[in-house]
């Protein structure tokens, strides 16, 4: 089976898993716990490769990871605890923007190519970055109109999308930097065609909590 087919099948099951996890607060809490546990494991393996036998640095890096991922989880769960039925659509919308950013970068980067964006990730191009913004703005606006009856955002939707897309791309580059230092292609192999869990949620880890904080500020 080709990598592309594996990627499609894995993406389908991931979307199903996300859908069912948002059915209620408890299922989402459990899903988030598993997600964070796997992410911490993958980060630990990256730090071991970067710092070799410098155990203190590995320990510090792991502690910082636990602190940030704890903040990530708490931000989401507190936001949802205020009204799960309505607020889950806000979280899902931000996830959609992150996914569109990832897809836009991949598709436009492959089709157009062009000048490399940075040495950190040789596959990232200026055309891919522009595609990330373009796709997230265009389709993100359509999704917003479709979901506008389910939630209200007291902030200009285009500004929100651009901020979320930018931070998502930053998160992707940051994890790419860690992988480059660790001299690995993927953070794991748990997701056929994709790599590790961290490979899929790198941008989300940064964009989602910041997006929720922005929305709370303007609510």
Contacts of 83 (CB under 8 A, 6+ apart): none
pLDDT at 3: 55
pLDDT, one tens digit per residue, over 62-117 is: 999 999 999 999 999 999 998 888 899 999 999 999 989 988 888 888 888 777 87
pTM: 0.91
Confidence of residue 192 (pLDDT cuts 50, 70, 90): confident
d(CA 140, CA 161): 7
pLDDT, one tens digit per residue, over 125-137 is: 888 888 899 999 9
């Amino acid at each position: 089976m080709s990598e592309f087919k594996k990627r499609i099948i894995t993406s389908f099951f991931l979307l199903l898993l996300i859908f069912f996890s948002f059915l209620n607060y408890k299922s989402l809490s459990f899903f988030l716990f598993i997600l964070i546990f796997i992410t911490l494991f993958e980060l630990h393996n990256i730090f071991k490769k970067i710092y070799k036998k410098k155990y203190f640095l590995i320990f510090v890096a792991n502690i910082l990871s636990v602190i940030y991922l704890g903040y990530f989880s708490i931000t989401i769960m507190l936001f949802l605890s205020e009204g799960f039925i309505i607020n889950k659509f806000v979280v899902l919308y931000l996830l959609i923007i992150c996914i569109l950013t990832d897809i836009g970068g991949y598709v436009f980067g492959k089709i157009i190519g062009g000048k490399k964006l940075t040495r950190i990730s040789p596959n990232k191009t200026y055309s891919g970055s522009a595609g990330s913004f373009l796709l997230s703005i265009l389709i993100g606006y359509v999704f917003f109109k479709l979901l506008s009856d389910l939630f209200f955002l007291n902030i200009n939707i285009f500004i929100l999308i651009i901020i979320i897309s930018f931070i998502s791309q930053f998160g992707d580059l940051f994890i790419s930097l860690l992988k480059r230092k660790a001299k690995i292609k993927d953070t794991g192999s748990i997701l056929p065609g994709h790599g590790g869990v961290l490979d899929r949620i790198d941008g989300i880890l940064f964009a989602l909590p910041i997006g929720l904080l922005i929305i709370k500020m303007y609510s």
